[in-house]
Structure 1
């Protein structure tokens, strides 16, 4: 029962994920993504090129589908406290410069049951929780993904449970040219692709709904408004008071629709970085606007299990697609760490817990780190 409650927490309360894409003036492409859930540890996994991937056995197929990774990949995956691994790679990038992400898509996501996979589909079918794994292993860029879909060589995607629960998801793929594509599977619309030219991706409703919803915020801008003046009790007042009035009315809650609008506005108005390193730093700053502290969001369901009603930002990853590096920070350890394809061995699969203690987040400053000077009126 405790295991089921824990997994239910992850699925119900991972609805606040967010992803943005930034392109620097030098052409470098950076993708930032946050992951929100309540418990469990997240791990960073490294799969070398040539790794074998085995899909689960299906009831109407004689053999399970297998494929070999063409590229070195980094992915993120959950591991339960009892040591059991999830089969769901929610995020990652490969050595060709492709980013893939799966974000929570409740009430809209639809994938057929595994019993529907039969015949020629048996040799080319993956589940919704393994599609990120497959895409990163198989494709170098968004163009190749589109071509596979147009040529009907893209795999059939079916529903698979993970710890007795089903993940409702939709996907975004971004490559090192800056091209982005959203892929959604719904019961009404089937499989649909969208060009993501705005560089923002959140959760439900569908991507086209979010884009249409942006039309409701034409007043947002990065310049302060002049306002007007008035007299009150013999004094003259000028509006607005303070800075930031150009963004008056921007949504500030954590609903998916609100986060999409806010992220789109901030990404549009933030200074465009000159270089890759500046883009990585700027992306972390923009992702800070979506950070969720523990206890701020509680589910409406009542439960004696406290973890069931909490959600927070467990980690943020920033993927620098142009140089093959993934930067990340966790909830307790907010220091930024980095892993790059160029300095990772290609001999075997490896993993690392993304979380550490809060004490790893800071450096103590003492007299050896500070310059002495004498203060006087001339300083």
Structure 2
């Protein structure tokens, strides 16, 4: 496969010369609409520009996983899929297949530890990038993915992946299906640890079980404005709507974003339709939008900033994949049903576009 060598080279130079921090602040969540559509989405943040395209991958496409020892696990896609690819490496890192199964990777620094690739496990090994595509290609529900992972049908090799800075990237993964089920799996000490995810939320480090335990610190939060109380004979009333969420952490750290995502996804009034749910999910994810400079590091006198370069929403009922970018807030949609699932080649579209502002001056009456 061909890679955009110029883009990769610039990233490599930036990282090795300036020591860019590539801390990632992605946030994912899920809601269920009244018409039983599972709508999930995520933000994508990174310390350097990641070159992305939205792509459609047909059934029958053959893949070979990358490992530190060369070619690894091979498979041929049982299901077609749509999602984001990095650079020109035609492997989806965040996407949905024709059965409404979703898989995506999220940054997991300080905790991810992949298996050592040996001659014995090379035939089942692949990169973190390949892992998402394998799941999208081969499975139609969360239970079967969970079973395959627990049966050690696959291993992650600590290999450099195209399109990312030239370091082994630490990831953990989330899977959703059209019924709304979800799991998170994490590479811990060389093994894949699988967690049921009843709330459909994911951020970054630390481990998923820690985040779930941490939610217990926020059991007093609620979506309803509390009633007034009398203290020393004085009636104290809330200062305004939203007082039920007073104390909700507002910073950009993974634990705080996890709590906020759980609070927002768990308190929204369900949309009537899938389309309404898509818009609702974009509004939820807007709460995690990071402008350039709000989350930054300073290294060697230079400023490097995480920012929300991409926001993705997936409608698992109608097989529609939506996205918008930092420079173009117009929401774009790819409808899987408009493609030939048995096509012979991958088709794609670059995501980096510039928004044009609509001048409505002449429409005023």
User: TM-score, length-normalised on structure 2?
Assistant: 0.88
Contiguous gaps of at least 5 residues in structure 2 = 1-8
| 2:238 match | 240
Residues 190/6 of structure 1: CA separation in 2 closer, same or farther (3 Å cut): same
Residues 56/158 of structure 1: CA separation in 2 closer, same or farther (3 Å cut): closer
- Say if 2:52 and 2:351, in contact at 8 Å, map to a contact too: yes
| 1:36 match | 45
Residues 4/57 of structure 1: CA separation in 2 closer, same or farther (3 Å cut): closer
Residues 184/237 of structure 1: CA separation in 2 closer, same or farther (3 Å cut): same
Shift of residue 317, structure 1, vs aligned partner? 0.6
1:1-379 alignment runs, 5 A limit: 2-6=10-14, 12-37=21-46, 38-56=48-66, 59=69, 64-79=72-87, 85=88, 89-114=92-117, 116=118, 118-119=119-120, 121-152=121-152, 154-162=153-161, 163-187=165-189, 190-228=191-229, 238-299=236-297, 301-306=298-303, 309-345=304-340, 346-359=343-356, 362-365=357-360, 367=362
Residues of 2 paired with 1:318 and 1:55: CA distance?
A: 27
- Write out per-residue CA displacement over residues 337-374 of structure 1, whole angstroms, 9 at most, x where no aligned residue: 10011113434211211121121xx433254x56x5xx
Which protein shows a greater Rg?
Answer: 1
Contiguous gaps of at least 5 residues in structure 1 = 80-84, 373-379
Shift of residue 134, structure 1, vs aligned partner? 1.0
Shift of residue 2, structure 1, vs aligned partner? 4.8
What is the Cα-based RMSD across aligned positions, in Å?
A: 2.5
- Write out per-residue CA displacement over residues 30-61 of structure 1, whole angstroms, 9 at most, x where no aligned residue: 111110024243211221111111223653x7
For residue 328 of structure 2, give the secondary structure of its aligned residue in structure 1: coil
Alignment length (residue pairs):
349
For residue 295 of structure 2, give the secondary structure of its aligned residue in structure 1: coil
Shift of residue 227, structure 1, vs aligned partner? 4.0
Shift of residue 202, structure 1, vs aligned partner? 0.6
